[in-house]
Each structure stands twice: as structure tokens, then as C-alpha cells.
Structure 1
């Protein structure tokens, strides 16, 4: 197989979940009596199909006229009749796509974030991709379109970039970010060299940014919404489209848009996915898209990164520090007897704080009515799920929960889909032992908004903007190159870090900015 190219694929539904690395399908509420589909119509049949949809009780959710399609919600019982209507090309599920990144809270990550809060730092990924080795004056400014959750345009490290955008999410505006993921991605591409925070791959405004916002706080969006954003990128004359998102299922309509715009010269780059399996994520699995895998600071493949024949290139995606809006992410807090402890918020725990006496609730494996009334439950990990422990505390009258680890390391837990009303946090095993000696003392525990401007994330979401940023940086020196030639040059100049030659985990290897520029200077575009 020629480097930089992938065989065409038909739409495949893979037996893996689209819930990856913290993004939950539960975030998108569905009505089981109705279905949301994309209806593609034949040329000249738009009005006829729209009329048929209305007659069947359907409602049009998105007009995808660029690709002869509409997104429709209609009663499930009417789906077969819809498919039989004249003028219809095909009907497909309006699949859900999710962000491919999640916050990292390791000790090392916290140190890196703390450093960024005090003085400008260079994230390890910038060095690994050689962005800090590129010198000279670019000849033009490519435009990178980021399809994500928006951007905090007022952020100290993002303000000053050339920005424009459009909002498709129904939440805020394109220059706000209720999820933090989009701002994190944007920072990796273009955080400014301005003596604060971090620097991005294009720290000196070598690219401009177009923000196509598709995600709200949930981090989930339908393929029809993403398709509208893709076409907006095309109308904005973007040169590169960066997509830190994915689904286990392909959308034919989204593929139509990508293939059409790719032929017009746009370079598409997307996350390979975070399931840690051989499953293919879309749109990364499309031939018109560069699929990006994640590696860590030691250039080792990240075990959450999906690996398959479509993976084309790799970039840093573990403990990547970048820009986030203040007070969008949350943090766990705990103090007992006036002493503060470092704790991690339980995922999906309610954002609230309480102050109450600390009480030993053992393993929390059985509720005892009234035993924890008005108290903060101190609970050991083990025997049952975190959610069940918190529910048992709550049922016993507890107002907050602290679960401590039964092994070394941070305790990162989740409530999953269980709804709880009390705040819950995770503590280390060592702190748990200390807390047991403080039972009866006043404890303040909670999940609170995090005012930090920088955060560490894991995911192929984080690897993708490294490649998008490098593509823009390299292209800024060679305006005569095409998008496909830039793609090929990046693949051919990548640092081989996995098995010799191309491999499924890291593709051609680690993307390299200076090596790509040197190669083009020596051999020309696309060689």
C-alpha cells in the first residue's frame, strides 16, 4: 500500500461502542418512538422528498443541500414508508460522533499544568513534533478549520490569533466553549508565544483559525451537524480541517462532503479513536482522511489508541497540556480539620459542596438507614462499584462521599449513568489511611468549577491537532504544494517509532515538522 493513501471503504457498522474516553452516548437523549435519519435524495427531488417527509409526520432537522440530503426525525413506524418514496437515493442513521479526549489528572500532569500557570512553558509535544526547530518567515497563512466544541476567544493564550467561525451546536456561540475540548485542541495548534501559559505548534500566528462548533457540554453531535460544519469549512476556504471526533459507524453523507472537498484540495485530519482496539473509527477510516494515532512523551504508542490498517501517522496524545476556558471543567476538593487533600472528582458527580463531620462507612457495601445522616462517608474501594457505594451512603443519610484507593496511585472513578445527589471524590490509599485518623472532624468536600486556564488531556483528540498544526506550519512555507502533497510529505518524513516501516499502531511514525520542510526543500512537494 502506498504511503499516505488508504483503500476506499464502504459504510461498516463495527461492533464497538461510540462511547470512548469519557464521551457518553447517554449525553444525546433519544425518543425510542422516533428515529433520526439522514435522507439523501436524487437530483431535483428535494421538494418532493421534503413534502413526503412532512406527510409522514417527520420534521427536518438540518438541510444538507450541499450533499443532496436532509436530516429528519420521524416516527419509527413510518421509516419503511419513507424509504419507499420516489426520489430517495438512500436513508441512513444520523450516527452520533463524540470527542476523543479526556482530562488527565496524573501527578506529572498536575505539575505541568502548575508550571503553565506561572510562566510560559513548551509542552513536550511541541518538541517531539519539531515545531520548535522551524525557523524563518512563512510565505503565506493557511487556514485551519477546527470542528469541535468552540473556542474561548478571550483566553490569554488564544486571543490575538486570526479567528472566525460558525456555531452549529445550539449552545453559546462559536467563540465560547462549554466543554473545554475545542479550546484545548485550538491551543495545541495555535497557542501564542506571548510569555504566558503554553505555546502551540503555530505559536507565531503562522495559521489562521476557523471554528466550526458542533459540540455542546456533552461532547456529542450527530453526523448531520458535523456534515454542516464540514461544508462551512469549505465555504470559509479552509485549507485544513481538524476533527478530534469519531464514531464506530460511517456516515455516507458525511463521507460525500469530505470526499468532495478533498478533491478541491482540503486536507482532512481526524482522530483514530480511543477504544484501544483494531476497530476503525470514522471519519478517520475514510481514504480522504489522515487517521492519527497517539503516543506518549517517550514516543511509545498509547494503549488507548485504536490500531488498524487506516492509521497513517502518530503524534503526542498523552498528558498534553493546553488551553481551556476557566470554570468549565470541575475539580474535586477536600479538607478535613483545616488540612487540604488532593482528590479527584468522580465523573458525573453533581457540582456542589458540603461541610459535615467525617464518618467511617467501611466498604459502603450495604446501606444502613440513618447511620450516616448529616455526615461525609469515608469509604474504602473494593467489593462493589463506586456508584453503588455513593448510593448506599446517600441512602444512609450521607451528604458527601470520599472513596479512597486500595492500591497506590490516584483514584479515578465514575458514577456512570447512576444519578446521585451528593458530591463524591476519590483519594489516594495513603490519604485514606490518614483520613481514618480524622473521623469525627469537620470535612468540606465538593465538586467545584476549576478556574485554571490550562489542563492536561489524553486522547487521539490531542494527537490530531499536533498533526493539523504541523500540516499548517509546513504548508505555510510552501504555498505551491497541494493538500495531498503536504499529506504525502508528512507521511514520508515521519520518524519511524514502531515496528520497522509502516505499522498499524503508529502508521508511518511520529509527525515531524522540520524533517518535512527539509524533505520538501530537497525533493519537492509530495515526495
Structure 2
């Protein structure tokens, strides 16, 4: 009895056919942009947003779509050479590539909606680069045997079709077991099966579309209804009914597509076209959409493709999934967009794009920005379906911000106090504190013990750390807008030192040897603030230590100092902070050398200068795309003039020219993802990125400080920054600042 069951083409009606003019250029060339004529006659493809997918390069290239139908006229110019060898189950014979097997017109029309070429014809299919696998299961009258349909499904599976189009169906109270079994095998083989809902205006789809709601279908069978150009359900179209969760609609009224010339009433061997209507016409729009996604992202599984189409469909009818439109109109514009959380793959795993940040210090700003402009950080991000999208993480890089008064005087409000207590035996305690009512807080401190013979021990926190070394005990100490000595070793500030301890030994003839250890606490990216040098002050990321030795000599009229040091940073490079795909888990080592000196030129006039050079390296960094650094050289220098008692007793006026610490050479190893393999794993490429700092920042600063009385001091400074952050593209900056300090007494 089952042998007598028939399947039918699901065409509701058709209008007059027409042929292309004989002089039209119809030689097919793959992947050409659709012409104005093609777009005019491909309104259905535009209605579902296929043009957006084409603009992204999605054309179904390489995807085989099995068309189980009345055959395909393979020599239609719209198909080029993309009609593969297939099988004619009606006459039980193999079909050669480009064979003319369609003695109806239905199958060729369906195939054209799926894969008619672009750039040279009258219309274009949804997936103009897809291959058509013709499987003839219906005769010239558009009917066929269900057992033949089952055989056709198995054949399409055996030939590697990723998508199977079934613009056919039958009406019955239940399905047919051989077809169901064949569909189960299709689902197990990771195929998507797209089936027409039927043209009876019924409340539920016909078979085999109705199988879509079965649990075993795994969401890989899509039932398709038809809408008109206004997205209204066609009068003839069966509704979603009990398959509403797996039901989509697509254009199915007056659809232009390819037909063979050898049908009744037509003659010649010209490329013919016709307008047809039916759920048979709506179904290949969905099959073409599946081919676009499969071709663009071959790593997708069949149920991922269908779920993408279900969740991105345009809601029609009643809000949400309904019994008429089901999920709604297929929407390729939305289907091509990232869905869910986006992440950046690295060799250490994936990191969300929202967590991926790199806050550069001024030292690296110019070098990193130049590398980013050259494409060093162009990689891919993936959505929750592991679909890859191009992304330039250069946009996630934040530079050292412009200097502002709030940044320069961060932590120093109107109630900030500075106090010093010094005993006769050489013990000295200094602290900054806030005296808000009920919240007295010590912000930073230093303790110094001087011993007989000139030795000394010192320990402290925060900005007192640099006051133990270098030229801190010369008239240049404390001069400057930021309150940090421009003549300091810059690597101390770069390390974000929070605590320090040091010991100094007095040698003969004014020489002194000092050793100190500076330690920086963990930093992070949640609350980004800046100190006076434009360095990030944040919480909970990495840490740093600096071991430093200094040899100095103080003589009548001046001081010279030479120091060497080693800075070890954890999870950051030269003060730059990072997270996500920019994470740098590991230790970065910097060796540096600083020499400085101050000399009294005569009377109350002094000159001073310093130069620092460092070399930074790291290997085996993990957690992100930056995996190493070698030969990174950075340097800084300062030249200053100062005059004491310039206008009043104990005042000081100074002028400085400096180039803050900046990287000028070196190589950064970047390993970034470039694509996704079919198995879902990632492709990576490693490259060496030159750190060419380009134009160095140059700062000009004029400072004045004067005591107002025994306990109060006022300072003023004017600073001009050229190429701030060692970035030639950054705008120059100027700032005028005033600072008032009051000593505790």
C-alpha cells in the first residue's frame, strides 16, 4: 500500500514564462556582484537580506545542496558549471554533470532560487556559488513514489550534500516510515533538511515538513511557509501549527527563477525564466540561506545553522513564536551578525571582547600605537556559535591620558596635610594624611634613621619611595608640577612602587653607597586613575619589584650619582596594564642604568641633568596574544636650571627640558588567531612586531616654589608637552598648576 503513496510538487500557480533575449551576455562567472537587473528580478533574495550576506563575502561557495525534485536543466547559463553529476530515480539512471534532467520545470525553478549565479543573468540565487546535486524523484507530471524519495534522501547523504531541499510533500494523517528512517539518517549525518509546508491553506504543514517537530529531528529539519512581498502569509500556504518552533516563512508569491526551454508552449534553446508561486518557491530561499551560512562558517554543525536561522528570524504575526508564522521571516542580515557573547581566541583560551583591554603607559604609547596602526593586533573574535569575525583590537588600546589638574593632584584635596617630625638623634618621620571628620587617614609615609658615621636606613610608602635615591637631597628635590623629581630614576615610578626599604653606607671622601628594594602592589583595570607622570594607578593586576644600587658623591657645590637596577614586573610590560586577550601572564625583566648630577654654577644658580637607559625582555608570556618581548630599549633624559632666593628668601625658580621614558626599539612577539578550522579549532599565526617609538615626547616646564611661612608652602608650574606619550599623532598639551602644602605642627 505504501508503494501507491505519491509526493507532489508544491506549486500553487504560475504566470507566463519568458526567455532571455538572444544577445544577452549570459556566460556565468562566479562571485561577480549582482547587477541592477538581477537585483530588480531577485526581490525575494533582497526580502530576506541576502544582499547583506553577499556584501560580507558569503555566497555558498563549496556547499553542495541536494535538490530532490523533477530534475534540473543543468545547461541553464545561470548555473555555470555548478550542476553536479546526480541520479534520476524515476528512470533509474545516472545523470552526468550539467545534464538536462528536468522534464517539468519545477526542479530547475527551485534550483535557480537556491543557486542561480550573479553578475551575468536576469536574477540571482540566494547562494550564487553553491553547487546543485540533482536528484530526480518526480516525473514530468510532478509526482513520485515515497520509496523513491527515501532512496533519494540516502543518495544525497552519500554524495555529501550539506543541505537537502524538499519542495514536495504529501497529505496524510501520519508520515511514512521509510522516509522517516531516511530522514533520521540525514539528521545523524549532520545534514539540514528544508521541506515545504504545503499549499492547502491548512493549519499544519504536510509531510515530510511535519517531521520537523519530532525530537529525533534535533532541530535540523525546517518547515517552510510562504509569504508575499508584504510579509503576509500567502492564502495557499499551510500554517506553522504544531511545528511552529521549527517553522520559518520566506517569499513564495510570484517568484522569478530559471526554467528549462523544453516545456509545453516554449521553444528554442534560450535561457528561460518564469514566475511561480508556492511553498515550493519559499523553501529554496531557506536552503540557500543555509548554504550561505555553511559556506561562510564551515565549522558550524547542522543544528547550529538552523538555530541561528530560528533565533534571528523577523517576528511576524502575533508576538513571539505563533501558529501561523512560526519563528517568522528568515533574516540573513541578522543571521550574519554575532550572537551572544563575543570572545577573542588566544593560545591560552578565549577571552571576552568586553574584558580585552590594554592601557599603555606613556613609555609604550607611541610604540604600541604605531604597531596597532600597522595591523599588529588584527585578529578574529568568535560568537557563541564559534563563528569568526574580523576584529582590530587596536581599538581596545587606551593611551596614557592627557594631563589634567585632577590627575596631577589625585589624592591631594583641600584637606590633605603633609607633616614632618625630626628628632635630634637623626630620626625623621614624614607623612601625608587626610583629616576628614571621623576618617583620619595616613596616605603615605617615610621613616629615616641616620646613624653615627653617616650611614642611614630608610623605609616608606608611595611617593616617598624616590626620595631616598638620586638627587633627592639637592635643591631640585620636589620641584615640578607633579611633585615628583624629574631627575629621579624613571623606572621607580614606572614600577608603581608602593613600598621601599633601603640602606646607605658612608664611604670616604664624600662617597656614598646605597641599596634599595622597591615593591609595587597588584594593579588592575577596574578603576583607572593616573599619577602626575601619566602612569596608570589601578588595583589588582600583577605587581613589581625593583632592586637598585647607587654610588654617589656629594661635594661642595654639587652631587653626582650612578645607579643600576633590575625591575621585575608581573603580568605587565613597562607599566602597561592589560586583560583579556591582551593579558600578559609571566615576568617581564628590565635592566637599567641611570646617571645624574647637580652642580652649582655660581651664587644661587644650579644646573642638573640625568639620563636613564633600560632594556626589557620577556619570554613565554601566556594568557593573551602578546607572548614575548626582546631587545626593547627605552630611555629618558632631563636638563634643568634652578635659581634659589630668586625674588624672596628660600624661593626657587627652575626650568627643565626633558624627554620622558619612551621605548625606541625592540621586538614584540604576537601570536593571534586568524581563522577557525572545520573541526572548530583555531588557526594561529605568529609575527614579530617592531616597537619603533617614532617621535619622542619633549616636555618644557617652568616651576616656582616659595614658603609663605614656617608651615605653608606654595608652588606654581607651567608645563608644555610636545608629542605626549611619545606619539606624533597626539595633540600637544599645556597646563598651568598651583599647589599649596601645609606642614603639621
Whether contact under 8 Å (1:488, 1:526) holds in the other structure is no
1:324 alignment partner in structure 2: 259
Whether contact under 8 Å (2:12, 2:236) holds in the other structure is no
1:81 alignment partner in structure 2: none
CA distance in 2, matches of 1:258, 1:116: 43
2:151 pairs with 1:151: no
1:309 aligned residue (242, 245, 267): 242
2:222 alignment partner in structure 1: 290
Q: The residue matched to 2:66 in structure 1 has which SS?
A: strand
2:205 pairs with 1:274: no
2:582 alignment partner in structure 1: none
1:299 aligned residue (223, 228, 231): 231
CA distance in 2, matches of 1:148, 1:99: 8
What is the CA-CA distance between 1:502 and the residue it aligns to?
A: 1.1
1:132 aligned residue (51, 58, 64): 51
2:324 pairs with 1:518: no
* Cα displacement string for residues 347-389 of structure 1 (whole angstroms, at most 9, x for unaligned residues): xxxxxxxxxxxxxxxxxxxxxxxxxxxxxxxxxxxxxxxxxxx
- Residues 115 and 501 of structure 1: CA distance in aligned 2, closer, same or farther (over 3 Å): farther
Whether contact under 8 Å (1:248, 1:279) holds in the other structure is no
2:131 alignment partner in structure 1: 208
Whether contact under 8 Å (1:183, 1:325) holds in the other structure is yes
- Residues 449 and 217 of structure 1: CA distance in aligned 2, closer, same or farther (over 3 Å): farther
1:19 alignment partner in structure 2: none
1:166 aligned residue (80, 87, 93): 87
- Residues 137 and 186 of structure 1: CA distance in aligned 2, closer, same or farther (over 3 Å): same
- Residues 102 and 170 of structure 1: CA distance in aligned 2, closer, same or farther (over 3 Å): farther
Q: The residue matched to 1:487 in structure 2 has which SS?
A: helix
CA distance in 2, matches of 1:499, 1:113: 41
2:36 pairs with 1:101: no
1:89 alignment partner in structure 2: none
Matches within 5 A, 1:422-437: none
Q: The residue matched to 2:178 in structure 1 has which SS?
A: helix
* Cα displacement string for residues 397-426 of structure 1 (whole angstroms, at most 9, x for unaligned residues): xxxxxxxxxxxxxxxxxxxxxxxxxxxxxx
What is the CA-CA distance between 1:520 and the residue it aligns to?
A: 4.5
What is the CA-CA distance between 1:166 and the residue it aligns to?
A: 1.0
CA distance in 1, matches of 2:302, 2:327: 18
* Cα displacement string for residues 131-167 of structure 1 (whole angstroms, at most 9, x for unaligned residues): 1111234596221111001111111212332523111
Whether contact under 8 Å (1:104, 1:458) holds in the other structure is yes
* Cα displacement string for residues 40-76 of structure 1 (whole angstroms, at most 9, x for unaligned residues): xxxxxxxxxxxxxxxxxxxxxxxxxxxxxxxxxxxxx
Structure having the higher helix fraction is 1
CA distance in 1, matches of 2:198, 2:3: 20
Instruction: For CA contacts below 8 A with separation 6 or more, give which structure has more relative contact order.
Output: 1
What is the CA-CA distance between 1:266 and the residue it aligns to?
A: 0.7
- Residues 501 and 449 of structure 1: CA distance in aligned 2, closer, same or farther (over 3 Å): farther
Whether contact under 8 Å (1:117, 1:197) holds in the other structure is no
CA distance in 2, matches of 1:498, 1:309: 16
1:195 alignment partner in structure 2: 120
Matched positions, count = 315
Whether contact under 8 Å (1:94, 1:224) holds in the other structure is no
CA distance in 1, matches of 2:145, 2:115: 27
1:262 alignment partner in structure 2: 187
2:410 pairs with 1:485: no
Whether contact under 8 Å (1:140, 1:479) holds in the other structure is no
- Residues 280 and 451 of structure 1: CA distance in aligned 2, closer, same or farther (over 3 Å): same
In structure 1, the gaps of 5 or more residues are 1-36, 38-91, 332-447
TM-score by length of 2: 0.40
TM-score by length of 1: 0.56
CA distance in 2, matches of 1:504, 1:154: 41
2:454 alignment partner in structure 1: none
Q: The residue matched to 1:230 in structure 2 has which SS?
A: helix
Q: The residue matched to 2:77 in structure 1 has which SS?
A: coil
Whether contact under 8 Å (1:330, 1:450) holds in the other structure is no
1:4 alignment partner in structure 2: none
- Residues 279 and 309 of structure 1: CA distance in aligned 2, closer, same or farther (over 3 Å): closer
CA distance in 2, matches of 1:183, 1:501: 35
CA distance in 2, matches of 1:248, 1:262: 22
* Cα displacement string for residues 208-247 of structure 1 (whole angstroms, at most 9, x for unaligned residues): 2211111121100011000110000110011111100000
Structure having the higher strand fraction is 2
CA distance in 2, matches of 1:116, 1:497: 42
What is the CA-CA distance between 1:114 and the residue it aligns to?
A: 8.0
2:109 pairs with 1:184: yes
Whether contact under 8 Å (1:485, 1:526) holds in the other structure is no
2:42 alignment partner in structure 1: 123
In structure 2, the gaps of 5 or more residues are 25-36, 343-382, 388-745
Q: The residue matched to 2:337 in structure 1 has which SS?
A: helix
CA distance in 2, matches of 1:329, 1:274: 24
2:168 aligned residue (238, 245, 250): 245
CA distance in 2, matches of 1:461, 1:222: 18
RMSD: 2.7
- Residues 315 and 156 of structure 1: CA distance in aligned 2, closer, same or farther (over 3 Å): same
2:63 aligned residue (142, 147, 151): 142
CA distance in 2, matches of 1:116, 1:279: 45
- Residues 508 and 212 of structure 1: CA distance in aligned 2, closer, same or farther (over 3 Å): same
Whether contact under 8 Å (1:142, 1:239) holds in the other structure is yes
What is the CA-CA distance between 1:295 and the residue it aligns to?
A: 0.4
Q: Which moved more, 1:514-523 or 1:213-222?
A: 514-523
Runs of 4+ in 1 over 6 A off after TM superposition: 112-118, 448-452
- Residues 162 and 217 of structure 1: CA distance in aligned 2, closer, same or farther (over 3 Å): closer
Whether contact under 8 Å (1:330, 1:449) holds in the other structure is no
